[in-house]
Amino acid sequence: MIDTSKFNSLIDVVTTFDSEQKCIDHLTTLRWDGLVISPFDSESKVYVCKGNKYKCKNTGKYFNVKTNTLFDNTKIKLQKWFLAIYLVTSHKKGISSIQLGKDIKVTQKTAWFMLHRIRACFGLDSNDNNKLNNIVEVDETYVGGKTKNKHMSKRSKESRGRSLTKSVVMGLLEREGRVIAKKIKNARGAEMLPVVFDNVEKGASIMSDEYRVYKNLREDYDHQVIRHNQKEYVDGIIHTNTIEGFWSLLKRSIVGIYHYVSADHLQKYIDESAFRYNTRLLNEAERMNNLFSNIEVRTTYKNLING
């Protein structure tokens, strides 16, 4: 495997992966580490063929290191994919499809599809089975256009506070740890509470604002409340400033880079921001290889545009 530990610039990526074969060799080591496994039958014997191909004995199908990954059936060279992944993971607020297309010399449509394939990998968190513990901040936010910009016929009567006119995003953040954020249908207990129970260890300390739904957490958690309606924002260790800082990063990414995000694709952009936050202590090379460890997910253009 190529040593990427000293990567600190785009030039390093270009000079290190200066051929398609080097990219293939790097992926092969990261994915299989010397023991090639068939994506069609993990128990099958595998034959090595010419042209970086392999054959699954049990199914008779051919495959390569890109099969059943984000690179599956791509016509774009891996060198451009590696550059795109480096740019996406190293930019603090993301990169638009227009800018990425200019940077790696592809069309905006191609860059848009590449970005969505990469975002699909952000949602594969290797720590999903590890629940948040210790002090966990819980909050919800709302993503979408401003009500005042809508036509009068499309405005909801509920236009303030926890309005249903925008997409609702639930967030859980362990201090000095990682964040989990999910788009939910509405800001009601039936939607919000299961997210907490599924992702936070019982007995943990939960910090939230005074929203009435969170009162139901008292039986299972050490629940502390900060009263924003009384202009109270910090009371010792009781606050939700950390999760609100994450919301700021998410919204600056959407408003400043992407400008518009549809509700259908919102979760992918949330996962992108969560990935950056959760890998904040890694350098560019470590963050890039972290994504490479989660590439076994394929996104087709037909499924993407059809939801």
pLDDT of 146 higher than 70? no
pLDDT of 301 higher than 90? no
pLDDT of 203 higher than 80? yes
Tell me whether residue 133 is exposed, middle or buried, using C-beta atoms within 10 angstroms of its C-beta: 0 to 12, 13 to 18, 19 or more.
middle
Mean pLDDT of 242-261: 91
Q: Which of 5-19, 142-156, 161-175, 250-264 has the highest mean pLDDT?
A: 250-264
Mean pLDDT of 137-157: 73
pLDDT (tens digit per residue) in 58-102: 999 999 999 999 999 999 999 999 999 999 998 888 999 999 999
Residue 9 contacts residue 16 (beta carbons within 8 Å): no
Mean pLDDT of 9-35: 90
| pLDDT-derived band at 273, boundaries 50, 70, 90 | very high
Q: What pLDDT does residue 287 have?
A: 87
pLDDT of 162 higher than 50? no
Q: What pLDDT does residue 231 have?
A: 86
Q: What is the mean pLDDT of the chain?
A: 88
Q: What pLDDT does residue 83 have?
A: 94
| pLDDT-derived band at 179, boundaries 50, 70, 90 | very high
pLDDT of 159 higher than 60? no
Mean pLDDT of 29-57: 93
| pLDDT-derived band at 163, boundaries 50, 70, 90 | very low
| pLDDT-derived band at 174, boundaries 50, 70, 90 | very high
What's the longest Cα–Cα distance across the chain? 70
Q: What pLDDT does residue 65 have?
A: 94
Residue 230 contacts residue 239 (beta carbons within 8 Å): no
Q: What pLDDT does residue 302 have?
A: 80
| pLDDT-derived band at 154, boundaries 50, 70, 90 | low
Residue 18 contacts residue 30 (beta carbons within 8 Å): no
Mean pLDDT of 118-145: 85
Q: Which two tokens stand for residue 55?
A: 């054959």
pTM of the model: 0.85
Amino acid (one-letter) located at 26: H
| pLDDT-derived band at 306, boundaries 50, 70, 90 | confident
Q: What pLDDT does residue 4 have?
A: 62
The neighbour count for residue 126, using CB atoms within 10 Å, is 9
Tokens 């259908």 map to which residue?
A: 264
Structural domains for the chain: 10-126+285-305 (no CATH), 135-147+158-261 (3.30.420)
Q: Which residues contact residue 282 at a Cβ distance below 8 angstroms, ignoring those fewer than 6 apart?
A: 290
